[in-house]
Amino acid sequence: MRKLSVVFIALAMVFAFSVNAMAAQALFYTEKERLPTSPTKELEVYGSIRMNTFWQSIDKESAASTGFAFKDSDLVWDIDDGSSRFGVRFKSGKVGANVEIRPRDRQSVRTRAMSIQGQMDLLRHWYGSYDLGFGTFIVGQTWTPTFNPICNECLIGGGGVLDGYGDGGFTARAPGLQLHVPIKGINGLFKFALLKPWTDPGPLGTTGIAATNVTPNWGATGADFDTTLPKIEASLSGAFGPLGFNVRGGWNTVDYVQKTTDTSETVDSWVACGDVMYSIGPFYVRGLGYLAQNLSVYGAGAPAAALGLFPTQLVAGDNSIEDVKNWGWFGVAGFKFNDMLSIEAGYGMRQSKQDVAGGTAKEDASAFVVFLPISITPAFVITPEVLWTDEGTIKVPGAADIDRGNKLYYGIYWRIDF
């Protein structure tokens, strides 16, 4: 016991000496002194804590896909660990960097089509930037040129849910190389990116809309995926007074290879989108429209299953894969009453078409949303929201239509930034 007492006394003396030394040198760990001492360097620590509190009601047709004979309702009362974040921004001369993570690393439940888009992983942003004078060069993972959702305040479900109903988040975050160049004449910005190519063929073990496998089955676990080029994306945004615009697009290519037969087929996916924004006083409208091919396997921010039909091999022994045509649109209108209160409503839809034996297969979906952001302070926002989705219908020649029903979400989204 005496030996322990001596140890504790010694530790206390060391601690007291350390505190006195730090006090004398003004080295206490404070918010102010967290910044580097060099006047040419800047360091910013920030974050956002977000909470979902809402009910979801799923009708009979939609619930049937999860094994329920009747409609199902559930309460969601949980931290939004997909959109909550903690980050550090760094700036020193021409060099900058941003590291941002979320309180999430659920590898066992990650969705394939979200795995490298920074949607479900622990990592959100991890990049460095260099000021070239005429523009900025970026190395690492951050927002891509095609990311510009029109309804960016739709928060129920963690945000980005409306990509499956006509909105245009497309590639959210992906690792790669980017160049951003300001265009002064139109108060705009040009972005060009070479990103990690996307290789997801859709649901494993199936061939797109068909539940029966043909040979070779490009989506099977025995398939391989070869890439020779990066995913290419570009965008141009600008404004003329109250009118703003953004045109963006991307292209991705992958070879599906059957290991047992050494046969391969190339599948190209692309998207082209145009946005318009107009504001006059407290009133504003935003809208977009897009055309795409094989959007469900492009590597968009929403799950692949939410974006339509999949490239499909139709005939056994025939290596050709039938592409999917996609189009969609989304529009929102809003009004800002004052700095504390505003309202926004939006509606959109998307459709997928594919040539199949006997005709054309079609799949569609649409959604309506209204929300009322209430800013207690700029850093504390409460958003009551109602979201209704029509999961659409799948129509395949020679088969009965599949009505996927409707879903209703209503509740409040809470956010505190720091």
Query: Cα(166)–Cα(35) distance, rounded to whole angstroms?
Result: 43
Confidence of residue 263 (pLDDT cuts 50, 70, 90): confident
Beta strands per DSSP E along 337-372:
342-356, 359-371
Closest among 171, 149, 163, 293 to 233, alpha carbons compared: 171
Q: What is the pLDDT of residues 8-28, one digit of tens each?
A: 344 344 334 333 433 333 333
Provide the pLDDT for residue 41: 75
Tell me the average pLDDT across 220-245: 87
Confidence of residue 213 (pLDDT cuts 50, 70, 90): very low
Query: Cα(295)–Cα(316) distance, rounded to whole angstroms?
Result: 24
Provide the pLDDT for residue 193: 98
Is the torsion defined by CA of 228, 229, 230, 231 positive or negative?
negative
Q: Which of 78-92, 213-227, 306-320 has the lowest mean pLDDT?
A: 213-227
Closest among 203, 195, 151 to 334, alpha carbons compared: 151
Which CATH code, of 3.40.50.300, 2.40.128.130, 3.30.300.30, 2.40.160.10, is assigned to 2-27+36-417? Answer: 2.40.160.10
Tokens matching residue 230:
């990066």
Provide the pLDDT for residue 60: 63
How does DSSP classify residue 113?
G
Query: Cα(129)–Cα(139) distance, rounded to whole angstroms?
Result: 6
Provide the pLDDT for residue 208: 47
Provide the pLDDT for residue 40: 65
Cβ-Cβ contacts under 8 Å for 39 (sequence gap 6 or more): none
Q: Please, are residues 183 and 237 in contact by the beta-carbon 8 Å criterion?
A: no
Confidence of residue 66 (pLDDT cuts 50, 70, 90): low
Q: Please provide residue 36's backbone torsions phi and psi, each rounded to the nearest 5 degrees.
A: -60, 150
Q: What is the pLDDT of residues 389-413, one digit of tens each?
A: 998 888 888 888 888 889 999 999 9
Query: Cα(389)–Cα(56) distance, rounded to whole angstroms?
Result: 11
Query: Cα(331)–Cα(169) distance, rounded to whole angstroms?
Result: 14
Confidence of residue 206 (pLDDT cuts 50, 70, 90): very low
Q: What is the pLDDT of residues 292-302, one digit of tens each?
A: 999 988 988 77
Written as one letter, the residue type at 265 is: E
The residue among 174 and 313 whose pLDDT is bigger is 174
Rounded to the nearest angstrom, the gap between the alpha carbon of residue 125 and the centroid of all alpha carbons in its chain is: 12
How does DSSP classify residue 198?
P
Q: What is the pLDDT of residues 311-360, one digit of tens each?
A: 877 665 566 788 999 999 999 999 999 999 999 999 999 999 998 878 89
Question: Helix (H) and strand (E) counts for the chain?
Answer: 2, 21
Task: Evaluate if residue 182 carries a pLDDT over 90.
Answer: yes
The residue among 3 and 287 whose pLDDT is bigger is 287
The residue among 224 and 135 whose pLDDT is bigger is 135
Query: Cα(111)–Cα(54) distance, rounded to whole angstroms?
Result: 22
Tell me the average pLDDT across 118-138: 87
Among 67-76, 196-205, 269-278, name the most confident range: 269-278
Residue listed under structure tokens 């795995």: 115
Q: Please, are residues 276 and 330 in contact by the beta-carbon 8 Å criterion?
A: no
Q: What is the pLDDT of residues 295-322, one digit of tens each?
A: 988 988 777 778 888 887 766 556 678 8
Tell me the average pLDDT across 249-275: 86
Provide the pLDDT for residue 196: 94
Kind plus residue range of the DSSP H or E element containing 238: strand 231-240
Provide the pLDDT for residue 10: 40
Other CB atoms closer than 10 Å to residue 114's CB: what's the count?
Answer: 21
Q: Quick check: helix, strand or coil at residue 295?
A: helix
Task: Evaluate if residue 1 carries a pLDDT over 50.
Answer: no
Query: Cα(368)–Cα(113) distance, rounded to whole angstroms?
Result: 24
Residue listed under structure tokens 């960097």: 97
Q: Quick check: helix, strand or coil at residue 271?
A: strand
Query: Cα(243)–Cα(278) distance, rounded to whole angstroms?
Result: 5
Provide the pLDDT for residue 239: 94
CA distances from 315 to 52, 210, 215, 320, 325 (A): 46, 11, 8, 8, 19
Q: Which of 152-166, 242-256, 363-377 has the lowest mean pLDDT?
A: 152-166
Closest among 336, 352, 356 to 344, alpha carbons compared: 336
Confidence of residue 209 (pLDDT cuts 50, 70, 90): very low
The residue among 366 and 198 whose pLDDT is bigger is 366
Task: Evaluate if residue 70 carries a pLDDT over 80.
Answer: no
Task: Evaluate if residue 159 carries a pLDDT over 90.
Answer: no
Other CB atoms closer than 10 Å to residue 303's CB: what's the count?
Answer: 18
Query: Cα(197)–Cα(233) distance, rounded to whole angstroms?
Result: 11
